[in-house]
Structure 1
Amino acid sequence: MEAPTTPEESARAVAEGFTRLYGSAPEGVWAAPGRVNLIGEYTDFNDGFVMPLALPHTAVAAVSRRTDGRLRVHSADSGEGVVTLDAAGLRPEDGAGGWAAYPAGVVWALREAGHHAVTGGADVHLASTVPTGAGLSSSAALEIVVALALNDLHGLGLSRPELARLGQRAENAFVGVPCGVMDQTASACAAEGHLLHLDTRDLSLRQVPFDLAAQGLALLVVDTRVKHALGDGAYAERRAGCEAGARALGVRALRDVGYARLPEALDRLENPTVRAYVRHVVSDNERVRRTMALLDAGDARAVGPVLTEGHVSLRDDLRVSAPELDLVVEAANAAGALGARMTGGGFGGSAVVLVESGDAEAVTKAVEDAFAAAGHTAPRVFPAIPSAGARRVS
């Protein structure tokens, strides 16, 4: 896959599109990236730990303020016309459907948080290079780019973690997806050349240097280009199961079940499904800890088996994998990858593969050949380059 157009390169096109749509130049152009998560899956809504990185793929927004209360939003990628909404009257139950729910949800969340300046309205023109349906947080990129633009234009003074929380609230309460805060935080707070170690309980961050090329390594993203209907509602079911496990164990969240206590905790759980969910979450928090320790020791190669171990847990305990994701892991590891796992919510979407730089081409071909032999649509494979978080680009 070719490298995406940079936000700086696309800012002019988005600004010109804005001018054609609305009849005047925008007040500014902003960008926010998608993300891929190295390790720590389904842990963020359990107050746990995650290690994502921002991708070079971004949502770009040209934005201007209005004073008549109208929120006009347009996506260059949707094939639809301008959607016009009442900024002061937005309500989740009214349902601004499809892609428009994400910018509308951000305006609603800002208004509900007391930032009434946004009720004056805005003109927004969006374009995105973040693949949709690939588990790479295209929705969080939309939320954060709009939140940052309105924060800057209205001088709201909100921090990046605060913008992430607002984006999460928009997705939870307005769009109706019970996601954790990892995706929005990665988009808002990531740093170029780094992983982001995030404690999702207190939002404390650590930027972790992640220069794989210096160690002769590469991280590939394999977008399977499939999304199975089984995923509809399954995320919420797993969240409910994890919360049931925390209640049964008498803890605030599963992050409070230490790894050393896991066997004892599992013995106390009667429901086998809940038991499996708890085992995954607690062990994946431990995998984040192990990954951090390996990276701190300069041994990124040893992270490979941790990734594969995480995939097995997601496949068998959480049951959120898919045949295409399992095939990526199997084919990549058989071709010499150091390790691989599905990433994101699952049931399709993407996997990450850690390889020696010299093996990247052979591993990519092995995965493509395996997909062809299975009769699957050809996957989209590209390097995960740790990139900058949300920013103003013009």
Structure 2
Amino acid sequence: MSITTGTTGTGTPTTSLEVERAEARTAHNYHPLPVVLAHGEGAWMTDVDGKRFLDLLAGYSALNFGHSHPRLLATAHAQLDKLTLTSRAFIHDEFADFCAALGDLCGKELVLPMNTGAEAVETAIKVSRKWGYEVKGVPADQARIVVATGNFHGRTTTIVGFSDDPDARDGFGPFAPGFDMVQYGDLAALEAAITPDTVAVLIEPIQGEGGVIIPPEGYLRDVREICTRENVLFAADEIQAGLGRTGRTFACDHEGVVPDLYILGKALGGGIVPVSAVVGNRDVLGVLKPGQHGSTFGGNPLACAVGHEVVQMLATGELQDRATELGEILRERLAALVGNGVVSFRTRGLWAGVDIDPAIGTGRQVCERLMERGVLAKDTHGSTIRLAPPLVISEEDLHWGLDQLAAVLS
């Protein structure tokens, strides 16, 4: 495939040079598309050669509000001039407002801020185990957590230990015990896996990395009912699905379900700083005592200022409504492609997993062709591509991007 290039002052192709330099000094834990981006605004990015690209990935939903959102940038700039880090050894003046606003958005009492999504998942695991020992009365070191096939909760050694993705898991053992995997969406299997030592069910309400996999209608409601009946915590990983992406504030909202723990990240940092959090009530998060868990950067002033602004933007519901409206366009356009290069697809709000006809090419090949036409997307699991445009994308730009998809599939 060709790569759009410009030249440096010495006549060297700019994109090619930057790709080569990155490959030479970077551990190869990613296989990025050969595009070198230098600027972003709204739903568009520009590479080092001046070519513009429509962003249909939005940083795996970390950029729900687009690139360089003026409200978020203004908040970040203002905070940069004041205070950026104190550690949690001290309290800063942005902390209480952020925690209160996020707690209110979730309808919960307490917030535990962290940085990355994986840190938030690890936090939820620790909290669930401690709650199991101190509140439920599970014998020491016997706590078990039910997880689902096809999950993606992060890449720490604990988390990949309960992944069934060979790329994520193989070569990184030995793994922590205490996890029971059941088929995603299979309620009977989940119920059968619960024992007196089970402390939590940890699932994604929609599996993003799996290809936007949506469980059967009523599944989340039944999981909530089972967890309540069996005195087990329901921990919902809303890191990708939450904060407006699906047309609701949380994906659990589509079934009127409130988990015991919300696990949040990605969009919470507004595409500016890594911000994550675990949100729950005092009877669960209150099991942690000083010194038992923490993070130097978790809940730092810059993160709290940006995160608070994100929560205020979501509190009006306008972005959620926009995701619903544009998501209907996305669904209709993808439906027209079934049988024309698309085998099947799944959408919820402004989020889609699109299964490509293998006769057309792999997901990676389709993403490379889209890149040539000025659209950026990402493949997963071979034949599937994910589409997650920023929620601020215009209807016109969304149609244009889907026109390019139709073109590369024809």
* TM-score normalised by the chain length of structure 1: 0.27
Q: Which one has a larger percent strand, Structure 1 or Structure 2?
A: 1
Q: Which one has a larger percent helix, Structure 1 or Structure 2?
A: 1
